[in-house]
Structure 1
Amino acid sequence: MKVDIGATRKARIDMLPLIDIVFLLLVFFIYAMLSMAVHHALPVSLPLSSTAPLDKQVTLSVTVDRQGAVFVDKAPVALDRLAEVLRTKSGDSKDPGVLLFADNQLTYQTLYSVIDQIKMAGIDRLSLECERQP
């Protein structure tokens, strides 16, 4: 007597679990990239703000510490040479920008002196950095 087992079926790969895994990996890597904001600044106590947007296209970091010392990408710079250094570092950039990390104990006069030097360098995109208020 002959037993009919039926036609042999080929093995197949189910696509739905594969698509789920691909989307899960995509979301994971997107969130990982967004959390890797690189700042070339020195640690200072930043002021607090409840609506602090992050500018992702900025190229240079300027830090002013509590004593009024100025740093460009962690390198100390004299205040009167700041415009020259920023022009050199921005090079041929079409629309350079600056992240300004100023200590929250800094006087307005010192802060505006730094901002004036940044404007004299021909940089119009300026982002004053702060920490989010809890």
Structure 2
Amino acid sequence: MKVHRKSISSPRIEMLPLIDIVFLLLVFFIYAMLSMAVHHGQPVDLPDSTGAVLEPDEAIGITIQDMGDTIRLHVNEQPVRLEELSAVLREQAGEEREQEVKVFADRTVAYQELFRVLDRIRQAGLSRISLQARPEEVASP
């Protein structure tokens, strides 16, 4: 009696698992890109901090640049004078008094100038204020 052996086929590479992995990586990188925090304002040299974390949200951004004897202010990329800062912030926040304000101050801005800006923010009725810093690279021991 003759025994029929099945012919052994050569192994093949399955493409479906590979395609699944590629799509998962694609989704991961798209999500990671969309969740990055980006400051759309004037370039400033932020101070370093080991605890600094940038969080994406819809906060009002105030940029303070040191111009030597004066400062330059921008609210969400719009140039503003210190005298009109409270009015601009009230307009930006609208009815929402819990609106967060992120202050991006140049590291060389005088302490007194920073407090003048913080006082104007308080005059606008906003109390959720955070000073921003650049995350510092910590060398491992």
**TM-score, structure 1 as length reference:** 0.77
Alpha-carbon deviation of 1:51? 1.1
Paired residue for 2:27? Answer: 26
| Alpha-carbon distance change, 94 to 66 in structure 1, aligned in 2, over 3 angstroms | closer
1:127 aligns with 2:122: no
1:99 aligns with 2:102: yes
- Regions of 4+ moved over 3 Å: 13-19
> Retained in 2: the 8 A contact 1:58–1:98?
no
1:1-134 equivalences under 5 Å are 16-35=17-36, 37-67=37-67, 68-93=71-96, 95-134=98-137
Q: Distance in 1 between matches of 2:31 and 2:57?
A: 17
Deviations 1:49-104 (A, max 9, x none): 11102232242111111131211122221112111100101123363111211111
Q: How many pairs are equivalent?
A: 123
Unpaired runs of at least 5, structure 2: 1-13
Q: Distance in 2 between matches of 1:93 and 1:23?
A: 39
Could you tell me the percent identity over the aligned residues? Answer: 32
Q: Which moved more, 1:17-26 or 1:47-56?
A: 17-26
* Matched residue SS, 1:45: coil
**TM-score, structure 2 as length reference:** 0.74
Alpha-carbon deviation of 1:15? 5.9
> Retained in 2: the 8 A contact 1:46–1:130?
yes
* Matched residue SS, 2:117: helix
Query: Superposition RMSD on alpha carbons, in Å?
Result: 2.4
